[in-house]
Amino acid sequence: MNKESSSAGSSAGSSVAKKVKKRASAEGVAHIRATFNNTIINVTDARGNVVAWNTPGKSGFKGSRKSTPFAAGIAAEVVGKMAYDAGVRKVEVHLRGAGNGREGAIRALAAAGIRIVAIKDFTAVPHNGCRPPKRRRV
């Protein structure tokens, strides 16, 4: 019964591995959700995994300033840099909503060095469903 077992306290098999940052594929999809109060920007890889995301609120804008095109541009610029660092080079933009931040977000993504391949609009249009809110009288 001569056992040659591995030493119990040895650190040979239990080394601490450094977390490896995954590189996303070169192509991805930028989802821009532009509501009247905010703009949400997501960049996903080809499989649909989120690579980077940001909103004007996360970038430091509060209240009614979140709905401005400038705020959407700043948020999209941050997302563009994060996605570029993750390896995304080409992006297909999917727009949803009719808010102010649509144009600013697209321009900022292009300025961050990401090539925009296509722009598709997925804004939901009602087939006379819910009654819209009353018109503002200013």
Q: Which two tokens stand for residue 61?
A: 């804008």
> pLDDT tens across 14-55, in order?
667 665 566 667 899 999 999 999 999 999 998 999 999 999
What's the confidence (pLDDT) of residue 138?
84
List pLDDT tens digits, range 93-104: 999 999 999 999
- Residue 45 in any domain: the answer is no
Domain count for the chain, please give it. Answer: 1
Q: CATH number, domain at 69? A: 3.30.420.80
pLDDT at 25 (0 to 100): 74
